[in-house]
């Protein structure tokens, strides 16, 4: 294997996840920023579901660069700094200069064991990285103040993204199943409310293909460079004649 080339089909491990985020941190927001309206649509819904108030102690658990927390802070003027938790210093470095964000370098499970009380906790597309969800939810239930809320935001296992077939198949095994999450939350003591938010992306094909080539989704990091290029060839054939992708 030549230097800098991804290995063949890597299993879903902590090392794979670490490599994924450390490789993307400098341009992470650009890769995930489908559009400014997408970010604001999600954060408005997050604020509503969390019932986020100015007096709340707010935690963004597994929040990476703080892309969503920054937008939330533009809408809710929290009296206390938002707590941004992520296991990777490289990701947190993108938010350290923000005057209203306190960065803490922990993985979700480790943070959940620490003493502290919080009013609102957000986990966006991070829960599928946690192996022991029973313990995580039990700990977070204990960390929440009376009337507190935990909000999980995640994509469903079945996606209509214009990815190549093998990537879509692998996503089904990696992403958390909503029904399983609901039951695990209930077992931890939570009252569960489950909602869907549908947002129609519209993105230039070349931009999206470049996002795939750079491995913008964790699942893509499990493919070798050769497999990614083969997948892109498949996408190009399927998407021939389309300049704008909607999904």
Structure tokens at 94: 């993108």
Domain presence at residue 214: no
Q: What is the mean pLDDT of the segment spanning 17-41? A: 63
Domain that residue 121 falls in: 14-159+166-200
What are the CA-CA distances from residue 22 to residues 89, 122, 231 (Å)?
A: 9, 22, 23
Which one is predicted more confidently, 70 or 34? 70
Domain presence at residue 90: yes
- Residue 25: is its pLDDT beyond 50? no
Query: How many C-beta neighbours within 10 Å does residue 87 have?
Result: 22
Beta bridge partners of 85: 61, 104
Domain presence at residue 222: no
Domain presence at residue 178: yes
| Residue 200: burial class (beta carbons within 10 Å; 0-12, 13-18, 19+) | exposed
Which one is predicted more confidently, 68 or 2? 68
The span from the CA of 244 to the CA of 17, in Å, is 30
Q: What is the mean pLDDT of the segment spanning 36-51? A: 93
At residue 33, the pLDDT reads 58
Domain presence at residue 237: no
Question: What is the tally of structural domains in the chain?
Answer: 1
Domain presence at residue 213: no
Query: pLDDT tens digit string along 44-92?
Result: 999 999 999 999 999 999 999 999 999 999 999 999 999 999 998 988 9
Structure tokens at 157: 């296992």
Domain presence at residue 109: yes
Which of 29-33, 81-85, 173-177 is the most confident on average? Answer: 81-85
Domain presence at residue 241: no
At residue 220, the pLDDT reads 87
Query: pLDDT tens digit string along 135-164?
Result: 999 999 999 999 999 999 988 777 889 999
CATH assignment of the domain containing 131: 3.40.50.150
């Amino acid at each position: 294997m030549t230097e800098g080339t991804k290995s063949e089909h890597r299993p879903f491990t902590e090392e794979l996840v670490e490599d994924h985020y450390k490789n993307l941190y400098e341009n992470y927001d650009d890769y995930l920023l489908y559009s400014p309206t997408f970010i604001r649509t999600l954060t408005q819904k997050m604020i509503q579901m969390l019932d986020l108030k100015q007096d709340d102690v707010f935690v963004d658990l597994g929040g990476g660069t703080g892309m969503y927390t920054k937008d939330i802070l533009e809408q809710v003027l929290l009296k206390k700094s938002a707590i941004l938790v992520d296991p990777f210093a490289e990701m947190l470095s993108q938010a350290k200069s923000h005057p209203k964000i306190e960065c803490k370098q922990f993985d979700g499970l480790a943070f959940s064991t620490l003493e502290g009380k919080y009013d609102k906790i957000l986990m966006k597309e991070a829960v599928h990285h946690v192996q022991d969800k029973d313990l995580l939810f039990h700990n977070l239930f204990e960390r929440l103040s009376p009337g507190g809320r935990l909000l999980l935001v995640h994509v469903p296992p079945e996606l209509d993204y214009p990815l190549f077939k093998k990537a879509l198949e692998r996503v089904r095994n990696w992403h958390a199943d909503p029904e399983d999450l609901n039951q695990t939350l209930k077992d931890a003591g939570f009252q569960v409310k489950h909602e869907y938010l549908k947002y129609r992306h519209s993105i230039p094909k070349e931009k999206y293909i470049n996002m795939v080539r750079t491995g913008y989704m964790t699942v893509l990091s499990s493919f070798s460079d050769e497999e990614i290029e083969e997948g892109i060839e498949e996408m190009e054939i399927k998407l021939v004649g389309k300049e704008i992708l909607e999904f």
